[in-house]
Amino acid sequence: MGYIGCIFEQTLSYMKYKKKYQLIIILLISVLSFLSGLFLLIHTNLNAYIAKKNTGKTVIIYWDNNVDRSKVEEDLKKISSIKGVKIEKFYTPKDAIKILTQGSLPLITKYSQTNPKIISYTSVLAVDLKGMGLSNLIKRLKTYPGIKNIYYNPNKVDMYIRLNHVYKCIESVAIGLLVIITLVLFFLYYSVLKLTRIKECYILYITGASRTFLLVPFIFHGAILGLISAIIGLLFLWGSQYYLNYLFFTPPIWLKMDFLTPYGILMQSIFTVLLGIFGSCLAVKDISKKTFNKEI
Amino acid sequence: MGIKKIIKLKNIFHAFGSRVLFNNVNIWIERGSFVFLTGDSGSGKTTLLKILHGEISPLSGYVSIAGINFGPRNKGFMHNLRRKVTMIHQDFILLEDRSVEDNIVLPLRAMGISKTQRQKRLDIILRTLELTKIRKNRCNSLSGGEKQRVAIARAIIVNPLILLADEPTGNLDNRQTIRLIKILRHFNLHGTTIVFATHNPELKRHVENSRLIHIINSKIQEIG
């Protein structure tokens, strides 16, 4: 317990002195934490937004007049087994007559406009497929011999592909920028840490500190700084979320920014703490390399 | 411990670039002795002390301090040596923003000694070196002499087998110098081997039965 207690005491001692430098370090890691959190926030919400834009696609299938009901049901069974495809409605020729004779005007208009055969087996599919999924589904449905006609809106497919393409471009640029900013800020953090602790590490080294005693309090200290920075970064992120909502939750975008999920918050915090630890390890290793004859 | 010759250096060769500091140097120091190490500026006194402290490895030769042989295999265990061999540096190397007691107990904390034990040892050392009144003062507010005593206290508090002092009288007047030697002699009489690097060979006369080793032209001369 004595030795472990001393390690904790040493960690507290690191926290107690050189507070100005520690504030600079916390500021640097907080900015890093905030930026990575902002990226995660925008990434998650934009992905959800695009996915939402991609949902609610409707495909209507019309079978040939001569096809038996058993054949139609067999086709329906195959279609319903496709992932992302749900059979929303199914009309028999009798249902079609009923719609045409008793249905409301908009329904009649839509039905008669899209169904060239007027009276046939008809199914409305709710499709939730990303990217080229819808095109592939149409190609696949066209291979079924009984299906005579397929109705869908090709614009929706194009829009998704366009949106996704633009988003991927922006995302790549953002990742690149984030990596550069992370490297610069991380280098600053590690340099400040090294500068503030080099003398103390040297004194500990010449007074008989073991490598464990030199490394562990440094790592704990880095982890604590990382944790404080993670909390500050998340608080700033929380504030930014309100601003982003104010900015984007307006017509015609209606993009609502939800805050990170608990899992996202956890991942973000772990990332920041690891950043703190990694910086500490790197600093102490560098101090060791330059001053301690590479003993650590 | 049972080691009569506590410091053994054999065929030591060390150089910085083309400048040879030690060429085939042999030194034997017995346990409990008080040795003055003299030489001109740049003769290698500090380097020799750093070799004895395990901070610098000589380019070739055999080094054995307090029963620990230096070598690549022992590199990870050198902290054990530094707990037995402490050093007072020429420029003290103190943490200026910490208090006197924080600086002094640092090696004890590094050794994992409990707070109660640390406090007991600290009180004794502070009394011995007359630092009790300034124990809470920050080191950046101390005079040169006070800083020196703090550095000595930090080196002594671990009860070292060997104490290496690198020109500790460099910025002291005559009265303070004699006082410092008396303090070191006190610890020497309690069994600590002292290696005292200085410019001034005259200091030898203040310590009975002491040895004087002179470094000249990369060689060692035993004067007395």
pLDDT surpasses 70 at A194: yes
Give the pairing type, strands A85-91 and A122-127.
antiparallel
pLDDT of residue A275: 92
Interface of A with B (CB under 8 A): 2-3, 5-6, 9-10, 13, 17-18, 199-200, 202-211, 213, 293-295
Reading the block at residue B88, the tokens are: 């007072």
| B53 reaches A (C-beta below 8 A) | yes
Who among B97, B112, B158 is closest to A6 (CB)? Answer: B112
In whole angstroms, what is the distance from residue B198 CA to residue B38 CA?
5
Top pLDDT among A90 and B107 is at: B107
- B-chain residues within 8 Å CB-CB of A206? 53, 55, 82, 87, 89, 93
Contact A295 B76 (CB under 8 A): yes
Distances from the Cα of B14 to the Cα of B19, B21, B47, B182, angstroms: 9, 6, 9, 33
> How many residues does this entry show for chain B?
224
Rounded to whole angstroms, how far apart are CA atoms A195 and B88?
23
Across-strand partners of A70?
none
> Does residue B61 belong to the interface with chain A, where contact is any CB pair within 8 Å?
no
Q: What is the C-alpha separation between A239 and A241, in angstroms, rounded?
A: 5
Higher pLDDT, A44 or A295: A44
Nearest CA distance, A289 vs chain B (angstrom): 13
In order of start, what are the domains of chain B with their CATH numbers? 32-59+83-222 (3.40.50.300)
* CB spacing of B79 vs A199 below 8 angstroms: no
Query: How many whole angstroms separate alpha carbon A118 and alpha carbon A99?
Result: 10
Q: Are residues B107 and A208, on separate chains, in Cβ contact within 8 Å?
A: yes
Element (H, E) at B166: strand B162-166
Whole-angstrom Cα distance, residue B9 to residue A248?
76
Pairing of strands B162-166, B193-198: parallel
pLDDT of residue B200: 86
Place of tokens 């004890």: B108
For chain B, the C-alpha Rg in angstroms (whole number) is 17
Q: Is the pLDDT of residue A296 over 60?
A: no
Other beta carbons less than 10 A from residue B164's beta carbon: 28
Chain B residues whose CB is inside 8 A of the A295 CB are 75-76, 78
Distance from CA of A276 to the nearest CA of B (A): 23
Residue A150 backbone class (left: φ over 0; alpha: ψ -120 to 50; beta: rest) = beta
**What interface predicted TM-score (ipTM) does this complex get?**
0.85
CB contact under 8 A, B112 and A213: yes
pLDDT of residue A247: 84
Cα distance from A8 to chain B (closest Cα, Å)? 10
- Residue A258, token pair as written in the block: 């939800």
Considering chain A, what is the average pLDDT of its residues? 84
List C-alpha distances in Å: B194 to B31, B57, B70, B191: 9, 21, 20, 9
**Interatomic CA distance for residues A58 and A72, integer angstroms:** 19
B13 and B22 in contact (C-beta within 8 Å)? yes
Chain A hits for B89, Cβ within 8 Å: 206
Q: Do A205 and B115 touch (CB under 8 A)?
A: no
Nearest to A199 among B78, B95, B111 (CB): B95
| Test mutation, B111, B115, B152, chain A, max A CBs within 10 A | B111
What is the reported pLDDT for B81?
84
Mutate: best of A206, A293, A295, partner B, most B CBs <10 A: A206
Peptide bond into A93 cis (omega under 30): no
With a CB cutoff of 8 Å and minimum separation 6, the contacts of B143 are: none
Picking from A145, A81, A151, the residue whose alpha carbon sits closest to that of residue A117 is: A151
Which letter does DSSP use for residue A47 in this model? H
The Cβ of residue B144 has, within 10 Å, a number of other Cβ atoms equal to: 12
Q: In what order do the strands lie in the sheet with B34-39?
A: B85-88, B162-166, B193-198, B34-39, B211-216, B219-222
* A222-252 residue pLDDT tens: 999 999 999 999 999 999 998 888 888 877 7
**Which residue(s) pair with B213 in the sheet?**
B37, B222
Q: What is the pLDDT of residue B42?
A: 84
Identify which has the larger pLDDT, A193 or A289.
A193
- Sequential pLDDT tens for chain B (224 residues): 445 888 999 999 998 888 888 888 899 999 999 999 998 888 889 999 988 988 888 888 888 888 878 765 566 677 888 888 999 988 889 999 999 999 999 999 999 899 999 999 999 999 988 899 999 999 999 988 889 889 999 999 999 999 999 988 876 778 888 888 888 998 899 999 999 999 888 888 888 889 999 988 888 887 76
